[in-house]
């Protein structure tokens, strides 16, 4: 029930125990995973296709954020006491924002390129070059900075700089909620729809192509499902509960209290942890991208598309699979 009485203070014990554990785990796994990813790309540099340009930048975005995690571990482990100053607090939060929306942007680019390589094989063959991919990468970085830069202008510290908010103080919470919703729609909602459409169509192509081995087809479909689930699990809870938690803070400031506010706060912290974990999960993209199984399955789908258009030849020969420029 709502009331005009003062709302009880949030119990931060869960955050101070839960988040440091997550951050330490993500730091260890992220350093190892991204290190192996960089090594794999270095060893196979001559074989790298255009998708790997996005994977490389995805890795760089992860490393940028992973290097900030030790400071957050210290902050949350010591009863949420920030000792590194206001400017550095904003930089830390900016790095998370850049990593989050950079990851979303580059994962979306990878899904679009794979979609083009399967569904529109002949149309894009030889037309998408490294130069095009570099331009897209620069555009993604520009859009990410454009989305995240306004976050720097909101107050992040409170109580003599001992608090470091991942959002802002209560004084600016209304304006910040509007900004957060806009960032959610542009930075996450639109890319999510793009990825669903791309991988949905890819799954349809893999299911309907009859010249692909059944076991190979099932394994490729499983890969598509895993990539989509990883994207959804890491980012959907974060955006939903982040905005809901901001709304509850506004209601609390107005004196409207609900028993479930604490649950929203806890759910928001779990969403933060899941979003953070994308830095440790993203290295799986390196494995999936270099997986010969995936390339073989995509190659079979492309071969099927090419053969279906060769209607003038009475006995078409089996084609040799070449790696397309889009990959």
CA–CA gap between residue 145 and residue 140 (Å, rounded): 9
Class of residue 38 by CB neighbours under 10 A (exposed 0-12, middle 13-18, buried 19+):
middle
Task: Name 200's Cβ contacts closer than 8 Å, sequence gap at least 6.
Answer: none
Q: What token pair was written down for 20? A: 């440091």
CA–CA gap between residue 148 and residue 317 (Å, rounded): 53
pLDDT at residue 139 greater than cutoff 90: yes
Half-sphere exposure at residue 203, Cβ-oriented, CA atoms within 13 angstroms: 15
CA–CA gap between residue 163 and residue 110 (Å, rounded): 38
Average pLDDT, stretch 110-121? Answer: 82
Average pLDDT, stretch 108-117? Answer: 85
* pLDDT computed for residue 321 by the predictor: 32
pLDDT at residue 60 greater than cutoff 70: yes
- DSSP 8-state assignment for residue 5: S
The more confidently predicted of residues 255 and 325 is 255
pLDDT at residue 245 greater than cutoff 60: yes
The more confidently predicted of residues 296 and 94 is 94
For the residues of 105-161, what is the DSSP string, one character each? HHHHHHHHHHHHHHHTHHHHTTTS-HHHHHHHHHHHHHHHHHHHGGGGGS--EETTT
The average confidence (pLDDT) of the chain is 82
Collapsed DSSP state (helix, strand, coil) of residue 163:
strand
Beta pairing, strands 157-158 & 163-164: antiparallel
Segment of 3-12, 45-54, 74-83, 232-241 carrying the highest mean pLDDT: 232-241
Q: What token pair was written down for 278? A: 């994308």
Share of the chain above pLDDT 90, in %: 43
* pLDDT computed for residue 13 by the predictor: 82
Average pLDDT, stretch 43-61? Answer: 77
Answer whether 172's CB lies under 8 Å from 118's CB.
no
The region of weakest confidence among 82-86, 174-178, 238-242 is 82-86
Residue 6 phi, psi (nearest 5): -70, 130
What domains does the chain contain, in order, with CATH numbers? 13-305 (1.20.1070.10)
pLDDT at residue 285 greater than cutoff 80: no
Average pLDDT, stretch 264-285? Answer: 89
pTM: 0.85
Answer whether 98's CB lies under 8 Å from 58's CB.
no
pLDDT at residue 262 greater than cutoff 90: no
CA–CA gap between residue 139 and residue 68 (Å, rounded): 25
Q: What token pair was written down for 130? A: 């490294």
Query: How many C-beta neighbours within 10 Å does residue 277 have?
Result: 19
CA–CA gap between residue 249 and residue 243 (Å, rounded): 10
CA–CA gap between residue 20 and residue 14 (Å, rounded): 10
* pLDDT computed for residue 317 by the predictor: 41
Q: What token pair was written down for 223? A: 């890969």
CA–CA gap between residue 200 and residue 198 (Å, rounded): 5
């Amino acid at each position: 029930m709502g009331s005009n009485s003062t709302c009880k203070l949030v119990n931060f014990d869960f955050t101070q125990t839960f988040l440091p554990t997550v951050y330490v785990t993500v730091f260890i796994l992220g350093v190892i995973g991204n290190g192996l990813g960089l090594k794999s790309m270095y060893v196979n540099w001559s074989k790298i296709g255009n998708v790997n340009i996005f994977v490389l930048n995805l890795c760089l975005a992860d490393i940028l954020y992973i290097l900030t995690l030790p400071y957050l571990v210290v902050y949350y482990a010591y009863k949420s006491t920030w000792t590194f100053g206001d400017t550095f607090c904003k930089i830390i939060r900016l790095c998370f924002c850049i990593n989050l929306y950079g990851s979303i942007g580059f994962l979306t680019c990878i899904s679009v390129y794979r979609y083009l390589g399967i569904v529109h094989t002949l149309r894009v063959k030889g037309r998408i070059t490294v130069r095009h991919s570099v331009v897209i990468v620069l555009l993604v970085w520009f859009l990410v900075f454009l989305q995240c830069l306004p976050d720097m202008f909101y107050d992040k510290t409170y109580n003599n700089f001992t608090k470091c908010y991942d959002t802002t103080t209560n004084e600016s919470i209304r304006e910040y909620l509007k900004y957060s919703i806009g960032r959610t729609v542009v930075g996450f909602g639109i890319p999510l729809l793009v990825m669903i459409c791309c991988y949905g169509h890819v799954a349809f192509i893999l299911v309907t192509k009859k010249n692909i081995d059944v076991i190979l087809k099932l394994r490729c479909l499983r890969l598509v499902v895993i990539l989509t689930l990883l994207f959804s699990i890491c980012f959907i809870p974060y955006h939903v509960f982040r905005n809901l938690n901001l709304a509850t803070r506004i209601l609390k400031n107005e004196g409207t209290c609900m028993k479930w506010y604490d649950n929203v706060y806890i759910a928001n912290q779990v969403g933060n942890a899941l979003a953070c974990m994308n830095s440790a999960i993203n290295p799986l993209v390196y494995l999936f991208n270099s997986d010969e199984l995936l390339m073989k399955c995509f190659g079979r789908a492309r071969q099927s598309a090419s053969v279906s258009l060769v209607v003038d030849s009475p006995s078409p020969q089996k084609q040799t699979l070449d790696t397309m420029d889009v990959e």
